[in-house]
Amino acid sequence: MPVDLTFAEQAVARVGRKPDAVIPILQALQEHYGYLPEEALRRVCETSDITPAAIAGVASFYDMFRFSPTGKHVVRVCRGTACHVAGAERVEDALRRHLQIPTGGDTDRERQFTIEQVACLGTCTLAPTVKIGEATFGHTSAERVPEVMRDFLALQTEARTTQTTEATPDSDNRQSAIGYRQSVIHVGLGSCCMAKGSDKLFHALNASAAQCGGSVVVKRVGCVGMCHRTPMIEVAEAGGGGKFYADLTAAQAQALVQRHFKPRGFVQRAGRIWTRVLDGLLLDDKPEEQSVQRFSMSKRDPNVREFLDRQVHIATEHFGKLDPLDLDEYLAHGGFEALAKCVGANPNELFSLTPALSRWERENRSQVLEKSGAGVSSADSEQSTNGQSLFPLPGGEGQGEGVRQNKSEISQSLLTSAATSEQIISTIEKSGLRGRGGAGFPTGQKWRVVSQQASETKYVICNGDEGDPGAFMDRMILESFPFRVIEGLMIAAVAVGASEGIFYIRHEYPLAVRRVRAAIAELEKRGWLASGQGSSGRESAHSSAGEIGADSRPLLRMRVFEGAGAFVCGEETALIASVEGQRGMPKLRPPFPAREGLWGKPTLINNVETLAMVPWILRNGAEKFAAIGTAKSKGTKVFALAGKIRRGGLIEIPMGTTIREIVEEIGGGVGDGRKFKAVQIGGPSGGCVPARLADTPVDYESLRDVGAIMGSGGLVVLDDTSCMVDIARYFLQFTQDQSCGKCTFCRIGTKRMLDLLDRFCTGKATKQHLEDLERLAHQVGAGSLCGLGKTAPNPVLTTLKYFRDEYEAHLQGRCPAKKCSPLIHYTINTDCTGCTICAQHCPVNAIPMTPYTRHVIDDAKCTRCDTCRVVCPHNAVEVR
């Protein structure tokens, strides 16, 4: 079938014709066509400056691009750490069988479904996770696959037959102007929440609340943290306290609203009473409002208190309270106060003054405010502005000469005081804030280097390429607090003198991308960011929001750049290469990006969580932040707590909290009958810390001493069903796949290490292989250029150090955790009653149908999918 090339031409016209536009253009083509048709790629080359070689190089490097058509629906199986330990491999095998996808292929013969592996969907508390189209299904299993597919097809039917004008949870549904007499129902609408149905609950609550005549408002909020209890809502009645509910469904929305609020109007109230009477007489049912009561929860509940009490919220301040996209509500809770201090403005007038400013003042506010001389403390701010806004309203009381002066006079008066940048950076340095995305480099030190560069053009980049499988902190922060991260990036820009800010966000995080773009658009609308966030390329930093004079400088411009699926792009130089439209290949340093970064200009790159902490530090003071944590690791750290844990979720704890406190107190420990074995911290670059070292404090130095790193903050709990050799192989497989291939030790060394681990997991390894594995691990770390290669051996080295006995057991053909399929066998013991349930559910017919007779498993046919053991009602299936 011929390919319609109109869209390819439109994509080039919209995104740009320069070589650096190649990745956004390819992403647009992939989104539209489902793959990259050769005809469309040729048309891109014909209508732009992009060469065929550039397209081939980029498209073959990044995981998200494909050159063959997909089926009608794409089934994405998460293969992150939490999903792996929860059985993602078995789920994928079951999906392939159910959809009848041929061996070696990814699409069924009818071209209805295509299966793709995703490094991590960022919904780790729902592991294993599968995403079909836009629908996410959590807690899947091999035996639940038919149910998941039925549910998805039912959603498709519902979407075709139901026409609705109902707003999506991310539409303009702000509630910052909620009246004093109004009650509010807060609904968490992060990705994890919506994957468990909170978006449907949100709409159902809206419909039910409409019957109350405006006395109750349903409000979207960000992540509530307790992912293990979502969907979670809070009912805050006017003049009263809050009531919490967990695990509700859309079907219970009306009952919940009726429990707390009376419908307006006689007819509605009479109908409600009549329905309750009939239910009691005919069905002998309790009123639905009473049935909802069993889903209520209290903050005084021991499980809730244990999860929350140890936490200190800085990056996640006001969690579960703020509408992510309501700027006015963010302002009412101290938002942009830190930025106002930095630029010497009154925070109450920071945004409201925009319409009153002259054109030159609007378009040059960045330059004027940066040189205002205002300090970071309240006293400094008041002294610099005499208690007034830097830009008083024309005609207002005490407006002074500021507005009436021409631009040269204003510039001259403000140039006499240039302490703002120094004061901001000094405050960050005194706070002890270190980078929250990897090795923990001092944030203030990095800012100072960039600020000292003489270049007229500088960039600030928020690194949201959260590639660690098993981590979802950055996703949650971007989804829940986009204005907070933007404020942090704006402060960084003021401090270092940058003209453009870029958010680099994984394309696997569509909700985070949408919310950050919406937040940027709102700030552009208010006049505090230059318009045109869709621009790309080196010209965007030099273009302005309007036609301004040659001696003028534009406002800070921000835009979002979506990653294309390359873990290595979390490394700074690889990220920069990606933004420039190249393959994400790390470069030898120095020069460091702080001196020569994007387009050869000084570039500051900070992690999402790091930037989210900056406004709090400047509002509350460096000393208050430094008082939290340890001597060398200050403040708090956000962790994604997942894996074999009772209470998974998003937590923020003081540095120095021990692993044991996190796992056993906050997380509630592992499941019944299981034994806490280890935690995997730091993703593929981190290590596995055994339970016997659980009293290790979580800080940069202590984790390094035990062979792990802080990383971005993924913390996956492992129990005695987890094979540590398999975990090491999983991470080596990931890093080997994600290696850019530049370094021989990383490219070849990780492949050789993976081959050796495969031998262990299949029972073919020897003692010599054990020695070779350890030697190679040290060589790869020493001979690689970037952080990916240098730290790739960490999971192997820590498992060899702390779990060497498991490697030795594999040498003998045994897997103590009974995880490695080639080393285990399924048998049926004498407890079997011949009920045939196992035979009915076996997907490969490895169990003959022999009613009332002890069943036998054909080992040659058995795929070790574990279904028979799970469904057996008599615990008659054993794994040996």
**What pLDDT, in 10s, does the model give residues 623-643?**
999 999 999 999 999 999 999
Q: Is the pLDDT of residue 493 over 60?
A: yes
The answer to whether 420 touches 497, Cβ cutoff 8 Å, is no
Mean pLDDT of 592-606: 97
Stated pTM of the model: 0.87
Beta bridge pairs of residue 651: 639
Strands (E), 166-241: 183-188, 216-221, 232-236
Segment among 321-330, 374-383, 615-624, 685-694 with least mean pLDDT: 374-383
Q: Tally Cβ neighbours within 10 Å of residue 67.
A: 12
Copy the structure tokens of residue 141. 């299993």
Domains of the chain: 6-61 (no CATH), 73-161 (3.40.30.10), 183-297 (3.40.30.10), 434-619 (3.40.50.11540), 636-811 (3.10.20.600), 825-880 (3.30.70.20)
Kindly state the helix (H) or strand (E) to which residue 385 belongs, with its residue range.
helix 378-385
* Cα 747 from Cα 810, distance rounded (Å): 26
The pLDDT-based confidence of 545 (bands split at 50, 70, 90) is: very low
Q: What's the average model confidence in pLDDT over 506-523?
A: 95
Measured distance CA(334)–CA(318) in Å, rounded: 11
Find out whether 616 and 194 touch, Cβ atoms under 8 Å.
Answer: no
pLDDT at 122: 87
Distance between CA atoms of residues 183 and 189, nearest Å: 19
15, 223, 405 from 511: Cα distances, Å:
21, 12, 45
Q: What is the pLDDT of residue 401?
A: 36
The mean pLDDT of 76-89, rounded to a whole number, is: 92
The average pLDDT across 716-735 equals: 95
Is residue 268 over pLDDT 70? no
The closest alpha carbon to 510, from 782, 260, 729, 194, belongs to 194
pLDDT score at 359: 33
The DSSP letter of residue 556 is: P
CA distance 28 to 22: 10
> Measured between alpha carbons, how far is 256 from 249 in angstroms, rounded to an integer?
10
Assign 470 a pLDDT band (cuts: 50, 70, 90).
Answer: confident
Report the 10 Å Cβ neighbour count for 64: 20
pLDDT reading at 294 higher than 90: no
Average pLDDT over the chain reads 84
> Residue 857's pLDDT is what?
97
Mean pLDDT along residues 508-514? 94
CA 564 to centroid of chain Cα atoms: 15
Return d(Cα 559, Cα 574) in angstroms, integer: 19
Tokens at 12, concatenated:
């080039």
For the segment 800-844, what is each residue's pLDDT rounded down to a tens digit? 999 999 999 999 999 999 999 999 999 999 999 999 999 999 999
H or E, element range at 811: helix 804-811
Residue-wise pLDDT for 385-443, tens only, equals 333 222 222 223 333 333 333 333 322 322 222 337 999 999 999 999 999 987 789 99
d(CA 718, CA 679): 6
Chain-centre distance for alpha carbon 462? 13
The predicted structure's pLDDT at residue 707: 92
Question: CB-based contacts of 574: which residues, under 8 Å, 6+ apart?
Answer: 566, 568, 584, 585, 586, 587, 740, 786
Mean pLDDT score, 226-254: 87
Per-residue pLDDT band for 366 (boundaries 50, 70, 90) equals very low
Per-residue model confidence as pLDDT tens digits over 116-150: 999 889 889 899 999 999 899 999 999 899 999 99
**Other residues' Cβ atoms within 10 Å of the Cβ of residue 162:** 8
- Eight-class DSSP state of 745: I
656 in Cβ contact with 699 (< 8 Å):
yes
From the number of C-beta atoms within 10 Å of its C-beta (0-12, 13-18, 19+), residue 830 rates as exposed
Residue 341 confidence (pLDDT): 86
CA distance 108 to 727: 31
Sheet holding 714-719, edge to edge: 649-654, 636-643, 714-719, 676-681, 687-690
